[in-house]
Amino acid sequence: MDTPMNFALTTLASAGVTTALLAALGWLLRTWIGERFKASVKHEYDDRLERLKSELRAQSDLDLAALKSEVDRQAEKLKIAALSFSDVQKATIPRKIDAVDNLWEAVRQARNYIPGELYVCDVLTDDELTDMRKTVPLNDLRLRLLDIDAVELSTRLFGDAEKIRPHVGEYIWALFATYHGLLSRILFLISGKNEDRRWYRDENVLRLIASAFGQNRVDVFRCLQSNRYDWLRREFEGLLFVAFEHLLNGKAFSEAALRQAQDMESQLVRAKQDQG
């Protein structure tokens, strides 16, 4: 028969086993529940991730389609604009070429209309041009200068160039008009009754040169001792050639060039007013 001590020991042993079993069962339950929770969270995460990816792909497809549509629309606009520009160019280039030819012909003809007396004056000194009565040869030249009809010559120099103005643009036209205005002013000064025929000191002449070439070139002009008219002719023809090339290449003149054209026009008006 078991003693009370044995019974107590047996009971404690059974209780220890039960406690251990309960502890193990609790650990198993916690682990199982944790794993189920983790699996549930992962499943939810994976599901949401897939939905987000799907939504992003759908939105990306929509954005790509919208972008492609916009690109196609802009490309069509550019194509139409290019075709229109090409048609305009085809229509205007021949007119521009004709206008350039006619304007250059007017410049070339101006050389033939310039009286030889101007070229003679171009090599005279300051003293000789101040009073041409001092010697017989210079006085004879003075009398020939008085016979020059500056107004009639000015009209011939200009010719019928006005008709080509719309096809050369304001800058080229301003250059040509300034060149014409300078020639007219020079002829007016050397053919007048004023005995001082140093036209290159005239304020209107200097302002016209500055409007076309800039003040730096005026300083160069002031330093010339002779051949001043020939210098002006070469300078203007050089500018015209550059402007012709710019025009025929289809390039637009800059804002600075257009402002310069306005300045040349205003100086021409002022010179005409002073000339009366």
Query: DSSP letters of 241-276?
Result: HHHHHHHHTTPPPPHHHHHHHHHHHHHHHHHHHHH-
Residue 154: predicted pLDDT: 82
- Integer Cα distance of 142 and 190 in angstroms: 9
* Residue 1 pLDDT exceeds 50: no
* Residue 95 pLDDT exceeds 60: yes
- Integer Cα distance of 275 and 143 in angstroms: 21
- Integer Cα distance of 214 and 250 in angstroms: 25
Q: What percent of the chain has pLDDT over 70?
A: 67
Residue 6: predicted pLDDT: 55
Residue 261 burial (C-beta neighbours within 10 Å; 0-12, 13-18, 19+)? buried
pLDDT per position as a tens digit, 115-130:
899 999 999 999 889 8
Residue 12: predicted pLDDT: 45
- Integer Cα distance of 271 and 180 in angstroms: 12
**Of 12-21, 154-163, 184-193, minimum mean pLDDT range:** 12-21
* Residue 105 pLDDT exceeds 80: yes
For the record, the structure tokens of 189 come out as 């000064």
Residue 134: predicted pLDDT: 84
At which residue do the structure tokens 């004709």 appear?
Answer: 98
pLDDT per position as a tens digit, 10-57:
554 555 556 655 566 566 666 666 666 566 656 665 666 667 667 666
Residue 110: predicted pLDDT: 84
What is the pLDDT confidence band of residue 162, given thresholds at 50, 70 and 90? confident
Average pLDDT for 143-151: 90
Greater model confidence, 251 or 204: 204
For the record, the structure tokens of 265 come out as 């026009």
pLDDT per position as a tens digit, 217-276:
999 999 999 899 999 999 999 999 899 888 887 777 888 887 888 888 888 888 777 766
- Integer Cα distance of 217 and 181 in angstroms: 18
Residue 9: predicted pLDDT: 47
Nearest to 218 by CA among 206, 234, 203: 206
Nearest to 198 by CA among 114, 136, 122, 111: 122
Separation in Å, CA 182 to CA 56, 166, 203, 208: 73, 22, 12, 7
Residue type, 84: S
Q: Note the pTM of the prediction, 2 decimals.
A: 0.64
Sign of CA dihedral 198, 199, 200, 202: positive
What is the pLDDT confidence band of residue 109, given thresholds at 50, 70 and 90? confident
- Integer Cα distance of 25 and 31 in angstroms: 10
At which residue do the structure tokens 């500018």 appear?
Answer: 239
Residue type, 66: A
> Mean pLDDT, the chain, as a whole number?
78
